[in-house]
Structure 1
Amino acid sequence: MNALTLAGVATAALCLGFAAIYALSRRLNNYGVVDIAWSYAFAALATFYALAGSGWEIRRALIAAMAALWSLRLGTHLLVRVARHHPTEDTRYLQLRHDWAGNFHAKMFGFFQLQAVSVVALGVAFLVSVQNPTPHLHPLEIAGALIWLLALSGEALADAQLAAFKRDDRHRGQVCDVGLWRYSRHPNYFFEWLIWVGYFVFALASPWGVLAIIGPAGILFLLLRVTGIPMAEEQSLRSKGDAYRRYQQTTSAFVPWFRRDRP
């Protein structure tokens, strides 16, 4: 199949899949399930592309493995978090219940379908890579894989450090500022974005690879302006108040960097 056909089949399948996830979420009365599905969907997408693509087999296997390892780690991390708090729903979806109260179910179904489309749009890096027939890896692909490995390790470390901090009852109500969190208020988001930079650099070695810029650009916009940092900061200010305001004054919001003195 050519690239457009692959993308079309993937979009149709994911829209059906997310419709089923919507039905499950409605039955559970917890729409946070969509975050888990969105994360796992990339593993399915990249595997499908790798199996149906026409490019060099080793490249297809490598990009699929990179996507699947990231996808399964993130999806499982979110699965554990959602299951631990169920039936309490993530504050983002509680807010959407309020904002969309007049036509909630129809709008939420559309939101789930948008998630399906976003997976295909962000996954352009996988699509162009699996169609590349060149029988050897380009230096850009090696560089992209190394960036991905660094970012995946950093994201996993940040998640582990935050989880360990929260498990200690002595830290109840306190701001996590240890490890990577001492240098960034959202190191997990930074490394999540860097993973997509890795996919983009990998894709640049393939024809039309520049289109993969939609991945890091889209993720960066979401993290900085939509559902990432703005909502996380708002929640932290509500729950931790002045302690978090002091943290904001000394610690970089996104890129890990040296701490600064409070004004």
Structure 2
Amino acid sequence: MTTTTSLSKNASLVRVALAYAVALAVAALWLALGPSTDALWLDVLIADLLATLVIFGFSRAHGNSSFYDAYWSVVPPLLLAYWWLQSDGVEGARAWLLMVVVLLWAVRLTANWAYAWPGLHHEDWRYPLLRERAGRFDAVVDLFAIHLIPTLQVFLGCLPMYVVATRSGRDLGVLDVVAFLVGLGAVALELVADVQMHRFVRERQPGQVMDRGLWGWSRHPNYFGELAFWISVALFGLAAAPGEWWWIFVGVLAMLAMFLGASIPMMEQRSLARRPQYQDVIDRVPMLVPRPPRS
């Protein structure tokens, strides 16, 4: 295991960038030289999983699973770009609109992670908690719960991108405009929520809880914005292939299940344990969907 406590933030970011470069190189080699399944989406899924295994190797070698954190936002625009480049005869207007939304989302989310992450001496608090609960199976939990399952969830969310990139024959319509506006609104909401939280962290008093701005209308506006982004992606897929409505929102449901079943409960339990007055926020402010707080 590599010692990382003495690494600066810049040096830590370089190591993470190296890990991603190696992971993406492995994925590219698989797509170029590996056996084909004759299904473009499946070929890319295998490459995605191989890249995730590379990141897992770096995480274990450095004793820090936060190597994976930015993978969530780095990969989706690459998946869309690859699917689009491999598809012939697909008109580009819908794909361009989708690419704009995905790139804005990816840049914002990755930049926010890079800004807030202090370096490899820090690890997301949820990861050691999950590993400790697993006992001697900590490596298994690290591989599946922290690396592979999130990769599969993001891939499910990205499948509507595959539909947009590989299907032709439907002109732009009202649903595309709605999808584009929802996507832009989601990115803007997440950006505002991030800025408000960073300002609060700089200025807060000991024990103070966040209940101002967007955080006064939703306890987790960042998760709401994230969910809205994936809804936007699904709406683009629905616009490209309305007949596939029965599965197109599977990725959105997977994200919602993760937020409601794991991410939000863990965040709220930690907040209550560290700041008991957070219960007042729970009593007044809705959990996810923004609305005016109760008096």
Deviation at 1:217, TM superposition (A): 1.3
Q: Does 1:87 align with 2:117?
A: no
Q: Give the match for residue 174 of structure 1.
A: 208
- Unaligned stretches of 5+ residues in structure 2: 1-36
Deviation at 1:41, TM superposition (A): 1.4
Deviation at 1:109, TM superposition (A): 2.3
Q: Give the match for residue 120 of structure 1.
A: 155
Q: Give the match for residue 199 of structure 2.
A: 164
Following TM superposition, where does structure 1 have runs of at least 4 consecutive aligned residues deviating by more than 3 angstroms? none
- Structure 1 residues 230-239 or 33-42, which shifts more? 33-42
Q: Does 1:103 align with 2:137?
A: yes
Contact 2:134–2:141 (8 Å) recurs in 1: yes
Deviation at 1:145, TM superposition (A): 0.5
Alignment of structure 1 residues 6-155 onto 2, 5 Å: 6-54=40-88, 55-82=90-117, 84=118, 86-111=120-145, 112-134=147-169, 136-155=171-190
Q: Does 1:215 align with 2:254?
A: no
TM-score by length of 2: 0.80
Alignment of structure 1 residues 183-202 onto 2, 5 Å: 183-202=217-236
Instruction: Say if 1:5 and 1:160 are closer, same or farther in 2 by CA, change over 3 A.
Output: same
Contact 1:140–1:202 (8 Å) recurs in 2: yes
TM-score by length of 1: 0.89
Instruction: Say if 1:106 and 1:36 are closer, same or farther in 2 by CA, change over 3 A.
Output: same
User: What amino acid does structure 1 have at the position aligned with 2:81?
Assistant: T
The percentage of counterpart residues that share the same residue type is: 27
Instruction: Say if 1:194 and 1:166 are closer, same or farther in 2 by CA, change over 3 A.
Output: same
* DSSP 3-state at the match of 1:137: coil
Instruction: Say if 1:47 and 1:172 are closer, same or farther in 2 by CA, change over 3 A.
Output: farther
Instruction: Say if 1:120 and 1:89 are closer, same or farther in 2 by CA, change over 3 A.
Output: same
Taking the aligned partners of 1:117 and 1:182, their CA distance within structure 2 comes to: 32
* DSSP 3-state at the match of 2:240: coil
Q: Deviations over 1:189-241 (max 9, x none)?
A: 11111111111222111225422201221111111112x21111011111111
Taking the aligned partners of 2:98 and 2:195, their CA distance within structure 1 comes to: 25
RMSD, aligned CA: 1.9
Taking the aligned partners of 1:209 and 1:164, their CA distance within structure 2 comes to: 43
Deviation at 1:146, TM superposition (A): 0.7
Taking the aligned partners of 2:95 and 2:66, their CA distance within structure 1 comes to: 32
Deviation at 1:178, TM superposition (A): 1.3
Corresponding pairs, count: 255
